[in-house]
Structure formats: structure tokens, C-alpha cells
Amino acid sequence: MTSDDRASDLSGTAPRQKASAVYEDLRTRILGGRLECGVWLRAESLADELGVSRTPVREAFRQLAADGLIELIPNRGARVALISDEDLESTYELHAILEGYGARRAAEGQLADIGRLRELCDLMERTLATGEEGKYDEITRLDLEFHGAIHRASGNIALPAMIAGFAQRSLVRNAFADYAPAEIERALDQHREITEAVGARDGVLAEAIMRSHVLGARTTLRRGLAKLTEPCKAPAS
């Protein structure tokens, strides 16, 4: 979508909806890497680009800051949050614990739609086999749906928001385009292993595989993010 398209979409929107739309637009750009860490965000230029006043942009800034995605610097403005090595490490560890907990609860409960989980595994594998442009974006979308289904099947209503918060705090992106082919295949194999463990009601195994899945992604994602984080990485404390 072009800036003109975005401006057109927001021009007739109610004030609160405008702030929400600006928030979603900027959040998507940050998590997708189109706004890199350390980049300064100018309310006036963003307002012009999106066809809104500066008020909804500032409201969006406050929400993004609460999410940990941007920093509001007194007398200077807003910038995309810097990332420290400690932040990345601690967040991945907690992310793995929460994802593992969700997989175990899903296996021990009765809410998991095993048929849909298997279907998502099939779709990801078929998408990977295509030569279509944008296949990694589609795999990412399916991956998010897969993990979301596990979160919901856990029966813990707080879990999805908690995991999303950790992902946002460290600017974790599901950048499958940065994976080597063997790494993608392994990640998709683990999805299927998790699915079968959940289907077998083996909570211990489901948790172990999910933790390994998340921690294994840490190295790959860190490498893929290097070009974004190195120029503006926060100093170690």
C-alpha cells in the first residue's frame, strides 16, 4: 500500500480509529523491519504521509512506547527502540518457556484442533516447495496461525498477549527469508512433531520440542537481524 493509499484509507476515519490505524501501520512497519531500530519518527511527516493530524500519531506513539517498540526521548522525539544483547537473550528464554508451557497445556487439554494443526503443517510445506514470490511472507503468516492455535488450545486466555508482548519487546520478527533452506525445513519438521505430540496428549514431549523450536530459532533470527541491530545496538550494561 502506498502512502497515498494509506492517507485515503484514513481520511474519513473517526479520531480514535485513526489513532488505532496509525498504531497498526507503524507497528507492522517496525516488526517487519521497514522501520529499523534507532530510526527517528517525525510526527509531522508521518501525519502528512497518512493524511491525519498529529494528534492520532502522538497517541499511536504512546501505545508503541508502552509496547516497548519505540522510545520517547524528552526534548528529542520518538525513535524505534534500541536492542541490547541482554534484552534479546532474556526475551528468547522467556519466550521459549511460555511457548513450551502453551504446548504442554494444549497437549494435556481438549481444545486443540489437531486436524487444523496438521493442515497448517501441510500448507507451510507446500508453500515452501513453490517458487512463488512472497512465499516466505505466507509461511510467516501460517507460522503465526500455527502458534496462535497452540496458544488458544492451552486454555490460558492471558498467554497470547504475554507472548506477543515478549515478541514486541525484543522486536523479534519471523524472518523466514533469512533462514537457510535446511533451517526452514527443520522448523517445519518441528511444527509437525509438536502437532503429533499434542495429538498424542504427551505434554512433556510437546513442551520439550516447542522450547527447542523457539531456542533454535534464536540463532537464526539473531543472524537475520544483525544488519538491523548492529548499527544501533544498545550498549551492554
Q: What is the pLDDT of residue 11?
A: 56
CA atoms within 13 A on the CB side of 234: 15
Q: What is the pLDDT of residue 12?
A: 55
Q: Phi, psi at residue 68, to the nearest 5°?
A: 85, 10
Domains of the chain plus CATH, in order, are: 3-80 (1.10.10.10), 85-232 (1.20.120.530)
Between CA 17 and CA 39 the distance in angstroms is 25
Q: What is the pLDDT of residue 90?
A: 81
Helix and strand totals (H; E) in the chain: 10, 3
Q: What is the pLDDT of residue 69?
A: 85
Residue-wise over 85-113: b if at least 16 C-beta within 10 A, else e? eebbeebbebbbebbbbbbbbbbbeeebe
Per-residue model confidence as pLDDT tens for the chain (237 residues): 444 455 445 655 666 789 999 998 998 788 766 787 788 999 999 999 999 999 999 999 999 998 888 999 999 999 998 766 677 778 888 999 999 999 999 999 999 999 999 999 999 999 999 988 778 878 888 998 999 999 999 999 999 988 887 666 554 555 566 677 888 899 999 999 999 999 999 999 999 999 999 988 777 666 655 655 554 445 454
Provide the β-strand partners of residue 78.
Answer: 41, 72
Q: What is the pLDDT of residue 118?
A: 98
Q: What is the pLDDT of residues 99-124, one digit of tens each?
A: 999 999 999 999 999 999 999 999 99
Q: What is the pLDDT of residue 89?
A: 78
CA atoms within 13 A on the CB side of 151: 19
CA end-to-end span of the chain, whole Å? Answer: 40
C-alpha cell at 1: 500500500
Q: What is the pLDDT of residue 181?
A: 82
